[in-house]
């Protein structure tokens, strides 16, 4: 099978069905939710049905709010339904970097919330009985001594915030998790894990509806008119709402000009092998944990419930899709597991996450009542769920924890639309060159 030949999907160019991914092929049956047919009134209108939008909706419904979710395509169509499925604790930048940039208080505030997203996912899966193949345990893999030393610092910093399920691995104990010669060691995180992200999205959507919330698919929001109430415009109707939460992340495009240059879409690709024998899988990934390496442009992989290896990697700034995804990722798979060099690849796809200049998520308020969250910079499975809870707290009149993120300064990408990609590529080249030179 070849990679999905479609050009880069954006809501703007009209792709409205799931990409041809392993996840779409193995998703639980879900209803098609009709487009918004006419003008409506609600308390909270959420734009985007990825993890950010779904988690915000669920937390608000649990607090008794009336909620309507508008999704341009399908539930989980964006990054949330096509990612690596890895529950990664913490943020895209370590707490020491956050402290250097934003100060001690910010590091303390964010550190106290660094493991909450994964806990929320486990709570939701249990409370709403969501079948999404959740498995505990993830590994950060070090390819150099320097990376291993950084993992040791991460362990110390996370333990200081109360994380008690961490274990440093040397080259030998690393082999209890992954049979490859690539790594000098790693860090095991018992509170990490992995799951089928599209099935988590679909389970959360079903829970939203059970709690009385409404979801309209195939409903692109074209404009949010500030006011009291705000008016959310779509092709066939409007939604008047006391609060609006923008959760379009890398796919929001030009919907809200004030957010346009605050994040940059970046694509990353995923392939899935043919099913392999249980013996082979147990040999290659003995503990069934997920793995991500510590490189600037990282590889991430995990076993699936039906004995495949799902392998992701690569980044393309600007969010375009490479013509040959398998050709791009097969060498990385073969470098990790030489015996899989020639195995059949059944699925290959691409998706966009939203990068901020600082790699710290960007949350805030645009007008009275209009909130947003985005920019998890590649580590969003857990942080989206935290963001959902924080937004629900803020809308309920308890903004303190939301403010801990909202007051962190976000910078627009230098160079504007035209130059931001080449400038970021140059920056990434610099960091990768340092990595290769061991600097």
Ligand X SMILES: Cc1cc2nc3c(=O)[nH]c(=O)nc-3n(C[C@H](O)[C@H](O)[C@H](O)COP(=O)(O)OP(=O)(O)OC[C@H]3O[C@@H](n4cnc5c(N)ncnc54)[C@H](O)[C@@H]3O)c2cc1C
List residues near ligand X by CB under 6 A: 11, 47-53, 70-73, 77-80, 82-86, 88, 220-221, 247-252, 255, 268, 270, 300, 312, 351-353, 374, 376, 378-382, 384
**Nearest 10 degrees: Cα torsion 97, 103, 107, 110:** -110
Per the rule left: phi > 0, alpha: psi between -120 and 50, beta: everything else, 359 is: left
* Smaller CB separation from ligand X, 171 or 322: 322
d(CA 325, CA 350): 8
The residue (of 64 and 116) whose beta carbon lies closer to ligand X is: 116
Closest CA to 7 of 319, 248, 326: 319
Give least dist CB 277 to ligand X, A. Answer: 25
Of 312 and 419, which CB lies nearer to ligand X in the complex structure? 312
Residue 403 Cα distances to 282, 370, 383, 407, 408, angstroms: 45, 14, 15, 6, 8
- Which C-beta is closer to ligand X: that of 229 or that of 248? 248
Could you tell me the smallest distance in angstroms from the CB atom of residue 83 to ligand X? Answer: 3
Cis ω on the peptide bond leading into residue 413 (within 30° of 0)? no
Three-state helix/strand/coil letters over 254-272: CCCHHHHCCCEEEEEEEEE
Nearest approach in angstroms of CB 377 to ligand X is 8
CB of 428 to ligand X, least distance (A): 17
CA distance to 128, 153, 385, per residue, from 165 (Å): 25, 15, 21
129 backbone dihedrals φ, ψ, rounded to 5°: 55, 55
Quick one: 111 exposed, middle or buried, by C-beta within 10 A (0-12, 13-18, 19+)? buried
Length of the chain measured in residues: 439
Nearer Cβ to ligand X (64/237): 237
Q: Residue 439 CB, nearest distance to ligand X (Å)? A: 27
Q: Which two tokens stand for residue 153?
A: 């610092």
Q: Are 224 and 246 in contact (CB under 8 A)?
A: yes
| Closest chain position to ligand X (CB) | 380
Minimum CB distance to ligand X, residue 401 (Å): 18
Locus of tokens 């857990």: 382
Closer by beta carbon to ligand X, 45 or else 151: 45
Distance of CA 356 to the CA centre of its chain: 13
CA distance 176 to 422: 41
In the complex, the smallest distance separating the C-beta of residue 140 from ligand X, rounded to whole angstroms, is 12
CB of residue 110 to ligand X, shortest distance in Å:
16
Could you tell me the smallest distance in angstroms from the CB atom of residue 145 to ligand X?
26
Q: Rank residues 79 and 281 by Cβ distance to ligand X and give the closer one.
A: 79
Instruction: Spell out the residues 6+ positions from residue 343 whose beta carbon is closer than 8 angstroms to its own.
Output: 273, 274, 276
Residue 127 Cβ vs ligand X, minimum distance, rounded to whole Å: 20
Measured from the CB atom, is 238 or 268 closer to ligand X?
268
Return the structure tokens found at 271.
């392939």
User: Helix (H) and strand (E) counts for the chain?
Assistant: 14, 17
- The residue among 86 and 214 lying less far from ligand X, judged by its C-beta, is 86
Residue 9 to residue 161: CA distance in whole angstroms: 39
> Is the Cβ of residue 70 or residue 386 nearer to ligand X in the bound state?
70
């Amino acid at each position: 099978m070849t990679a999905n030949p479609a050009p880069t999907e954006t809501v703007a160019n009209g792709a409205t069905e799931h990409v041809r991914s392993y996840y779409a092929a193995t998703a639980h049956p879900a209803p098609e939710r009709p487009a918004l047919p006419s003008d409506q009134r609600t308390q909270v209108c959420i734009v985007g049905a990825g993890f950010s939008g779904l988690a915000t909706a669920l937390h608000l419904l649990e607090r008794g709010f009336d909620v309507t979710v508008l999704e341009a395509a399908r539930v989980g169509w964006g990054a949330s339904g096509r990612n690596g499925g890895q529950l990664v604790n913490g943020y895209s930048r370590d707490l020491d970097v956050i402290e250097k940039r934003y100060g001690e208080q910010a590091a303390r505030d964010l550190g106290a919330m660094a493991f909450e997203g994964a806990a929320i996912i486990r709570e939701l899966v249990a409370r709403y009985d969501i079948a999404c193949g959740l498995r505990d345990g993830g590994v950060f893999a070090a390819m150099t001594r320097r990376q291993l030393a950084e993992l040791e610092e991460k362990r110390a910093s996370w333990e200081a915030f109360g994380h008690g399920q961490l274990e440093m691995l040397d080259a030998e104990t690393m082999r209890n998790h992954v049979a490859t010669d690539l790594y000098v060691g790693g860090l095991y995180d018992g509170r990490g894990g992995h799951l089928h992200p599209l099935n988590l999205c679909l389970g959360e959507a079903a829970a939203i509806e059970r709690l009385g919330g409404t979801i309209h698919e195939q409903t692109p929001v074209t404009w949010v008119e500030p006011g009291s109430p705000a008016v959310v415009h779509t092709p066939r109707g409007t939604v008047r709402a006391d609060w609006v939460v923008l959760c379009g992340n890398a796919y929001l495009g030009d919907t809200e000009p004030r957010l346009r240059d605050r994040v940059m879409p970046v694509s990353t690709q995923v392939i899935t092998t043919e099913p392999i024998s249980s013996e082979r899988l147990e040999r290659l990934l003995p503990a069934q944990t997920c793995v991500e390496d510590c490189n600037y442009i990282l590889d991430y992989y995990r076993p699936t419930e039906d004995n495949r290896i799902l392998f992701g990697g690569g980044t393309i700034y600007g969010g375009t899709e490479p013509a040959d995804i398998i050709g791009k990722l097969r060498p990385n798979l073969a470098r990790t597991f030489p015996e899989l060099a020639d195995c059949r690849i059944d699925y290959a796809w691409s998706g966009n996450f939203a990068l901020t200049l600082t790699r710290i998520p960007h949350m805030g308020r645009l007008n009275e009542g209009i909130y947003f969250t985005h920019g998890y910079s590649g580590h969003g499975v857990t942080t989206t769920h935290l963001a959902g809870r924080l937004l629900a707290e803020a809308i309920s009149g308890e903004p303190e924890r939301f403010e801990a993120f909202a007051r962190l300064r976000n910078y627009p990408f230098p160079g504007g639309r035209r130059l931001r990609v080449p400038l970021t590529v140059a920056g990434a080249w610099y960091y990768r060159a340092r990595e290769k030179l061991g600097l």
